């Protein structure tokens, strides 16, 4: 009777200037997975062009742990590309994506594996019940974004308060590998592939060390990336807005013509005219900017550039 094949799971950890957290992250995850039997684990750290001591720490870690792999990108391509590089360069039965800051608890990994195995889930994702250590504005803006995203995403259901922390089985990994668009919103891509996806609720912890790389500008850019990557509804809204403004202009123009013919013309009206011109000009600039965003994405997609370049892979 042939021996049962050992299940292999890769833990993908994208890092960018995380020298303060790498050892803590590795130790925390190693402590959790050491109690899981009959499964072989490997760490896949993706160094996304770090400029601090991250590379040296990863090399030292690899020398001490034979189950650590390090993928070094040629420069900083962003977290979405780093996660993609990790998924592209593994040959595992499943993968767990985890941030190095430990805000997403590694203690949830055994539950993810159990759900994957018991419920035959293709994707098991963590869903935040709370977000410790974050400001009220960040929590409010995040909740607002998820509501907007869910209403605009159409057929793709995107659950709220979910990050990249998740387990994907082999066919989900293969599906995500086929999605090669340049403008990547990974949380949306994970949902877009479909299959059976199960949520695991948890409470998110505050960051232990270092500073988050996601400031408000970066979060705004990511939010806009997600909306424009998965919906053309903003363009339709611009069209509808233009239609209603044009209808209003026609009705208002008819009123002016009727008033002039019946009662004559008076000179006053300059303030209201300027207010109307300024309002319409603002609407036009917003719509042109929106069109520019979509055209820019088309332009970048037509280049068909690689999503990343690998400088080195240490197996």
Average pLDDT over residues 202-220: 63
Our CA angle for 204, 207, 209, nearest 5°, is 160
Distance (Å, whole) CA 112 – CA 191: 17
Whether pLDDT at 146 is above 90 = no
Whether pLDDT at 286 is above 80 = no
Distance (Å, whole) CA 187 – CA 161: 11
Average pLDDT over residues 207-217: 57
Q: How far is CA 77 from CA 173, 193, 222, 308, in A?
A: 20, 23, 14, 6
Phi-psi region of 86 (alpha: psi -120 to 50; beta: other; left: phi over 0): alpha
Residue entry with tokens 């403004």: 245
Helical axes 216-230 vs 270-303, angle rounded to 10°: 80
Q: Give the number of other Cβ atoms within 10 Å of residue 83's Cβ.
A: 24
Which comes out higher in pLDDT, residue 274 or 311? 311
pLDDT one-digit tens code per residue, 26-35? 999 999 998 8
Q: Domain residue spans in the chain? A: 7-213+306-314, 233-303
Class of domain 7-213+306-314: alpha beta
Q: What is the chain's mean pLDDT, rounded?
A: 79
pTM above 0.95, yes or no: no
Q: Is 170 exposed, middle or buried (0-12, 13-18, 19+ CB in 10 A)?
A: middle
Q: Which of 1-5, 108-112, 264-268 has the highest mean pLDDT?
A: 108-112
User: How confident is residue 197, by pLDDT bands cut at 50, 70 and 90?
Assistant: very high
Q: How far is CA 13 from the centre of its chain?
A: 15
Tokens standing for residue 305: 């550039």
Average pLDDT over residues 224-241: 66
pLDDT at 1: 43
- Asked if 122 and 130 count as a contact pair (C-beta separation under 8 A), the reply is no
């Amino acid at each position: 009777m042939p021996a049962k094949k050992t299940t292999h799971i890769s833990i993908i950890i994208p890092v960018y200037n995380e020298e303060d957290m790498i050892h803590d992250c590795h130790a925390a995850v190693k402590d959790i997975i050491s109690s899981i039997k009959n499964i072989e684990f490997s760490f896949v750290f993706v160094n996304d062009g770090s400029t601090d001591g991250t590379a040296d720490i990863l090399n030292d870690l690899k020398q001490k742990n034979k189950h650590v792999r390090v993928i070094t990108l040629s420069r900083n391509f962003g977290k979405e590309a780093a996660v993609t590089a990790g998924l592209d360069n593994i040959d595992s039965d499943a993968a767990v994506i985890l941030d190095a800051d430990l805000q997403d608890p590694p203690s949830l990994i055994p539950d993810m594996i159990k759900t994957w195995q018991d419920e035959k889930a293709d994707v098991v994702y963590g869903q935040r019940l709370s977000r410790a250590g974050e400001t009220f504005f960040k929590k409010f803006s995040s909740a607002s974004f998820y509501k907007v995203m869910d209403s605009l995403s159409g057929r793709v259901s995107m659950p709220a308060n979910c990050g990249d922390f998740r387990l994907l089985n082999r066919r989900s990994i293969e599906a995500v590998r086929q999605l090669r668009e340049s403008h990547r919103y990974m949380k949306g891509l994970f949902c877009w592939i479909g299959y059976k996806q199960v949520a695991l609720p948890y409470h998110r912890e505050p960051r232990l060390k270092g500073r988050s790389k996601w400031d408000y500008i970066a979060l705004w850019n990511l939010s806009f990336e997600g909306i424009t990557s998965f919906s053309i509804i903003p363009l339709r809204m611009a069209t509808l807005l233009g239609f209603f403004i044009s209808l209003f202009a026609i009705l208002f123009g008819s009123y002016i013509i009727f008033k002039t013919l019946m009662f004559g013309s008076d000179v006053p009206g300059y303030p209201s005219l300027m207010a109307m011109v300024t309002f319409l000009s603002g609407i036009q600039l917003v719509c042109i900017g929106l069109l520019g965003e979509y055209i820019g994405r088309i332009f970048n997609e037509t280049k068909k550039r690689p999503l990343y370049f690998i400088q080195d892979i240490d197996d």
